[in-house]
Each structure stands twice: as C-alpha cells, then as structure tokens.
Amino acid sequence: MTSPPAAGQPSAETVAAYFRELQDRICDALVEVDGGTFDARELRGERGGVARPRVLTDGEVIEKAAVNFSHSRGDSLPLAATERRPELAGRSFEATSVSLIVHPRNPYAPTSHANIRFFIAHPPEGRSPGGTRDEEEEEEGWWFGGGFDLTPYYGFEEDAVHWHRTAAQACAPFGEDLYARYKAACDDYFYLPHRQEMRGVGGLFFDDLNRLERPAELDLFGRCFAFGRSIGDHFLPAYLPILQRRKDLQYGERERGFQLYRRGRYVEFNLVYDRGTRYGLQARARTESILASLPPLAAWRYDYAPEAGSPEARLASDFLVRRDWIPASNPSHPEGT
C-alpha cells in the first residue's frame, strides 16, 4: 500500500490532484532516464476543464512518450457512459484521467501504456451527492477504470514476469482474485481479431469499478481510489527496470525494421479497436492528444512472416499469447516484498 487513502465523499478534485502528481512523477522519471524534455502546456477547456498534454519526442532513449492529464466537466453525460447506466442520462459530470504511452528507441525495449480514469455524475439538483448511505450506494454515479500493459518487440521472459509480478503486487491488498480477473480482462481487451494475436504481453485492465471488498476500514470510494493509486504508483516500478536493462542493448537494421513493422500492429489496434481512441475521435476531443499514442514511425510489409525459430517468430508464438506469467505458488507476493 502507498499513501493513506482519502476518506469522505467521491470527488473528481481529489482524484485529479493525485493524477496531476502522478503525471509529474512519471514525467520526471522518464526525463531522468532520457535526458530530454517534455513539451508541456496547459489547455483550458469549458466549465473550468483543464488538460495537460505532455509529449517527449526524439529523445536519446525514448523516441516518443506522451503522458497526458485531463480534467473535464460536461453538462450531460455522453452516450458511451449512459448506455450501461440509463439512470444517469442528462446529468452533469466530471471526468479526469492520466494516460500515458512510452515508445522507446531501442527495439529490445518494450512499449508501455497506462491509463487511470475517474468518472462522476453529479446528482440531480436538490440532492446531495452522499457516499455512504446504502440507498445511494445502489446507484453510485462514479467509477474508476484503467490499467497498464506492455508491448515488447523482442520477447524476454524476465521482463514479462517482472511486469506481471508488479501488477499482482498492485492488486494484492484489494482482493484475492483481482490480479487474475484484471489480467484476463487485459488479455481480452488488447487483442487484434483480424491478426488473431494479442497486442502485447498484457497486464491489467479494469473498468466500471465502484465496488471492492478491501480494505475493510475504508468506504467504497476510499477503497477504489486507493486501488487506482496503487495502479498508478506501480507503473514506474513495473516499467523502469525493464527500460533500464534494454535501452542500451546493441541492435541493427534488422531489429529496427522489425520494431517498425510491429509498431504497425500498435497503430492497427489503437485506430481500429481502442475504445478511448475511437470515442475521443468521435467526440472531437483534441486529436493531437488522443493520437499522441501513435508511434513516431511505423511500417507495413505485405505478407511478411519471420523465419521460423527466429527471435522475431518467437515474439508471436511465445509472447503474444495468453500465458500465466507468474508461477502458481504465491503469485501476489513474489520475492522481495
């Protein structure tokens, strides 16, 4: 567990304050590895909304990273949100998120992605938002979503195992089965049906989260917010060791070419399937922020298949498949914790 959770009623301000701090922390850590600087600006939206897109381009280690924070307010919930919750239709709302992607230069270093988001519908006029009474918990108008996932170009078992162990650690305090459930959801989500292939080695994916059984001493918002923070706080420990040990490996044209080719799959996933990307484009959000996730350079080769038994072939056969990355014994409490 990390810092003590906030108590009290669900609040976008409270969550946004954490997201801002997380954005700073992740950007600082990436700058320390790379030496480059983020293009940082603050954009004002309607009704006091704010966005802080931050993009680092053409760095020594990082070819492109986008670490975006936003906090927006709206008069009326978008259709995407009320389809599953018709009782919230027409309510004003706030949404806040931190969303990031890192495309390293070195083909041996995997691309990583993380997102945490919080959504709250304000109560109809004349009612207080509340947060503890049973009646109101039944129609809680807030939820968290997010997760993180890893996309290698060359597979390393130790990287995938470290990534998943850290994911399991992030989940452990909040429930027995959370890691298994959100790991499976991640495998389901980051899948390209037209390639019959996973996008990467997965990680965690959750949505519509407003119930958790632990920690018992917290209310539902406190538990879910603590879980969201745990996901956010575990991103750097999950990714930095991998980036550090791969960023200086020697590579040549072959590895670079394969990386560009595989990045094409990333483009395919994001533009064809990713809900956040497609919803953002449809909603006419700021296109440059939404598409900041796309790689700086990507290639398509017609009908290419790597030579059998090559490291390139092993990526698809051994890594882009559903696998249990953590040995069955004691999955959520690996050595060293």
89 half-sphere exposure, CB direction, 13 A CA radius:
5
Contact call for residue 39 and a copy of itself (CB under 8 A): yes
DSSP 128-189: ---SSSHHHHTT--EEEEEEEEEE-SS--HHHHHHHHHHHHHHHGGG-TTHHHHHHHHHHHH
Shortest Å distance, C-beta 139 to a copy of itself: 34
**DSSP-derived secondary structure letter, 305:** -
Calculated CA dihedral for residues 120, 125, 130, 136, nearest 10 degrees? -80
In the bound state with a copy of itself, the residue whose beta carbon lies nearer, of 52 and 223, is: 52
Applying CB under 8 A, among 89, 297, 313, 321 the residue interacting with a copy of itself is 297
User: Which of the ranges 24-32, 94-102, 189-197, 243-251 carries the binding residues for a copy of itself, by CB under 8 A?
Assistant: 189-197
Applying CB under 8 A, among 133, 138, 284, 308 the residue interacting with a copy of itself is 284
Contact call for residue 302 and a copy of itself (CB under 8 A): yes
User: Which of the ranges 13-21, 155-163, 299-307, 309-317 carries the binding residues for a copy of itself, by CB under 8 A?
Assistant: 299-307
CA distance 229 to 116: 9
Shortest Å distance, C-beta 63 to a copy of itself: 11
Is residue 113 part of the annotated active site? The answer reads yes
Applying CB under 8 A, among 42, 75, 288, 324 the residue interacting with a copy of itself is 288
Contact call for residue 87 and a copy of itself (CB under 8 A): no
CA distance 73 to 96: 9
Contact call for residue 150 and a copy of itself (CB under 8 A): no
Distances (CA, A) of 263 to 61, 144, 256, 295: 17, 29, 11, 7
Which residues ranging from 238 to 277 are in contact with a copy of itself (CB under 8 A)? 260, 264, 267-268, 271-272
In the bound state with a copy of itself, the residue whose beta carbon lies nearer, of 78 and 90, is: 78
Question: How many residues line the site for a copy of itself (CB under 8 A)?
Answer: 32
Applying CB under 8 A, among 17, 25, 57, 214 the residue interacting with a copy of itself is 57
Nearest Cα to 63, choosing from 247, 276, 302?
A: 247
Contact call for residue 40 and a copy of itself (CB under 8 A): no
Residue in 71, 103, 113, 164 annotated catalytic: 113
Contact call for residue 287 and a copy of itself (CB under 8 A): yes
In the bound state with a copy of itself, the residue whose beta carbon lies nearer, of 29 and 299, is: 299
Shortest Å distance, C-beta 37 to a copy of itself: 13
Applying CB under 8 A, among 194, 307, 308, 329 the residue interacting with a copy of itself is 194
Applying CB under 8 A, among 17, 31, 55, 240 the residue interacting with a copy of itself is 55
In the bound state with a copy of itself, the residue whose beta carbon lies nearer, of 218 and 273, is: 273
**Coil, helix or strand at residue 48:** helix
Q: Tell me the chain's radius of gyration from C-alpha atoms.
A: 20
Contact call for residue 300 and a copy of itself (CB under 8 A): yes
Burial string for 254-272 (b: 16+ CB within 10 Å, else e) reads ebbebbbbbbebbbbbbee
Backbone phi, then psi, for 211, in 5-degree steps? -135, 135
Q: What single letter denotes the amino acid at residue 189?
A: Y
Torsion over CA: 278, 281, 284, 286 (sign): positive
Identify the helix (H) or strand (E) that includes residue 121: strand 111-121
Torsion over CA: 98, 133, 140, 87 (sign): negative
| Residues 313/307, Cβ–Cβ less than 8 Å | yes
Give the active site residues: 113
Summarize as ranges the residues that interact with a copy of itself (CB under 8 A). Answer: 39, 55, 57, 64, 66, 193-195, 260, 264, 267-268, 271-272, 278, 281, 284, 287-288, 290-292, 294-303
